[in-house]
């Protein structure tokens, strides 16, 4: 058991240091020399900065933990998510915000042990805010403890995502957005799922939802929200998928999730 505790502490320290280093890459952006490549559509792009951050994470953590595997938005071929040590990476969550200079993006790094998420780190370099958590050890923002709001939905802001990579969920998303808008103080679409979930974790918002997300979008923030006393489920009320298949996501406290009317 001690070995596992030491490993978890080592993971947390190394992941935080790596996230800080990657934050410097985002801050050093030369937006006038961006190389933007389309992936599945004009809404789904990757830049040289995504690749540079991913390379930094893989090289840094791979040197410290040589037996680790990596499952990243920009490179996830044949990674066994059930392996002993897997880092799940979104090099830049909020890529379109980054491309447009909207300065609301983050580096998201999760660590899975045998398929169980045990450490999450989400770093927004623009605000110098590092959200972190290790399973069973509470959640922190810049090393200060955080906890979800215990307010009812009508007293909180709600956040959502538009799943721009999946046009099939467009109508359903905006029907849900209206439903939640009418039950909350107001609605925000900020553009980074990981930061949205972390904002719920620290009580800035009471609820977040999005119809279709990849594991790397929510893996790290899910550890942080859970350790901050929050809950996550999919639109059917089931536990989020951790096998790499896309999932819908609702994040909040039990009360706001039930009050939202989002559960099918």
DSSP lists the bridge partners of residue 110 as 88, 120
Which of 23, 117, 125, 161 contacts ligand LIP by CB under 6 A? 161
Would you say 117 or 161 has its CB closer to ligand LIP? 161
Cβ contacts of 19 within 8 Å, gap of 6 or more: 107, 109, 121, 122, 123, 130
State yes or no: residue 76 binds ligand LIP (CB under 6 A).
no
> How far is CA 86 from each of CA 55, 115, 264, rounded to the nearest angstrom?
15, 8, 32
CB-count burial class (<10 Å; 0-12, 13-18, 19+) for 24:
exposed
Establish if 125 lies at the interface with ligand LIP (CB under 6 A).
Answer: no
Q: Indicate the residue among 192 and 226 with the shorter CB distance to ligand LIP.
A: 192
Give whichever of 87 and 113 is closer to ligand LIP, judged by the CB atom. 87
Binding segment (CB under 6 A) for ligand LIP, from list 159-167, 180-188, 199-207, 233-241: 159-167
Separation CA 262–CA 234 (nearest Å): 9
Print the binding letters for residues 20-39 with ligand LIP: x by CB under 6 A, - otherwise.
--------------------
- How far is 231 from 201, CA to CA, in rounded Å? 9
How many angstroms separate the CA atoms of 171 and 259, rounded?
21
Q: Which of residues 93 and 231 has its CB atom nearest to ligand LIP in the complex?
A: 93
Q: How far is the CB of 249 from ligand LIP (least distance, A)?
A: 9
Nearest of 200, 204, 210, 217 to residue 174 by alpha carbon:
210
79 scored as a contact of ligand LIP (CB under 6 A): no
Q: What minimum distance in Å lies between the beta carbon of 137 and ligand LIP?
A: 25
- Toward ligand LIP, which CB reaches closer, 210 or 259? 210
* CB closer to ligand LIP out of 8 and 196: 196
Order the strands of the 129-134 sheet from edge to edge.
69-72, 86-93, 106-113, 116-124, 129-134, 139-141, 144-145
**192 near ligand LIP, judged by CB under 6 A:** yes
Q: Phi, psi at residue 179, to the nearest 5°?
A: -60, -50
Q: Pick from 90, 227, 234, 259 the residue near ligand LIP by CB under 6 A.
A: 90
Give the H/E segment covering residue 137.
none
Nearer to ligand LIP, 113 or 163 (CB): 163
Closest CA to 126 of 195, 212, 72, 33: 195
Q: How many residues bind ligand LIP (CB under 6 A)?
A: 15
Interface ranges with ligand LIP (CB under 6 A)? 73, 90, 93-95, 161-165, 192-193, 210, 213, 217
């Amino acid at each position: 058991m001690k070995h596992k505790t030491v490993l978890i502490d080592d993971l947390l320290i190394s992941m935080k240091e790596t996230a800080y280093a990657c934050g410097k890459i985002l801050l050093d952006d030369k937006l006038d020399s961006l190389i933007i490549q389309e992936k599945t559509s004009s809404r789904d792009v990757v830049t040289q900065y995504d690749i540079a951050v991913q390379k930094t994470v893989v090289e840094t953590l791979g040197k410290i933990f040589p037996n680790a595997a990596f499952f990243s938005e920009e490179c996830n071929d044949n990674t066994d998510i059930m392996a002993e040590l897997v880092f799940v990476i979104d090099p830049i969550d909020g890529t379109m915000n980054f491309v447009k200079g909207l300065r609301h993006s983050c580096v998201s790094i999760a660590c899975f042990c045998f398929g169980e998420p045990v450490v999450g780190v989400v770093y927004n370099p623009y605000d110098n805010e590092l959200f972190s958590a290790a399973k069973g050890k509470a959640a922190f923002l810049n090393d200060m403890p955080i906890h979800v709001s215990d307010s009812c939905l009508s007293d909180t802001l709600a956040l959502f995502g538009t799943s721009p990579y999946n046009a099939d969920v467009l109508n359903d998303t905006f029907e849900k957005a209206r439903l939640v808008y009418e039950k909350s103080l107001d609605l925000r679409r900020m553009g980074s799922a990981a930061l949205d979930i972390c904002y719920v974790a620290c009580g800035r918002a009471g609820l977040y939802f999005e119809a279709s997300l990849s594991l790397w979008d929510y893996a790290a923030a899910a550890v942080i929200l859970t350790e901050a006393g929050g809950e996550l489920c999919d639109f059917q009320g089931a536990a989020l998928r951790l096998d790499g298949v896309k999932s819908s996501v609702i994040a909040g406290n039990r009360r706001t999730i039930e009050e939202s009317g989002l559960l099918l």
